[in-house]
Amino acid sequence: MAASSFAPSRASSWASSPGGPGRARRDRAVAIVLAELRQAGGYRRGMAAQLAREHGGSERGWQRAMNEACAQYEHGQDQDDAGTVPQAAQPSP
């Protein structure tokens, strides 16, 4: 029987992060982008390029994070719009 080609330290680090180390990096980037979207009130042209300059990495990588964050941001906005009716606006019985 052949020995495993994975080193224990590498296998344990992958096991702690579902999707591998790249997914953890993307999740951090998406969180940064979401904060920027909330601060700016939505998407603005050139945001990915600005984030690449500020935080490093490729513009394309930040654009992928921007796409994912925009979907989450818009989904959150949809929930806010379709949320519960405020108590004062509900008709009284």
b/e code 18-28 from CB counts within 10 Å (16+ = b): eeeeeeeebee
Tens digit of each residue's pLDDT (9 = 90 or more) over 26-68: 999 999 999 999 999 999 999 999 999 999 999 999 999 999 9
Tokens of 67: 């796409």
C-alpha to C-alpha distance for 76 and 84, rounded to whole angstroms: 14
pLDDT at position 3, please? 46
Position 73 pLDDT exceeds 80 = yes
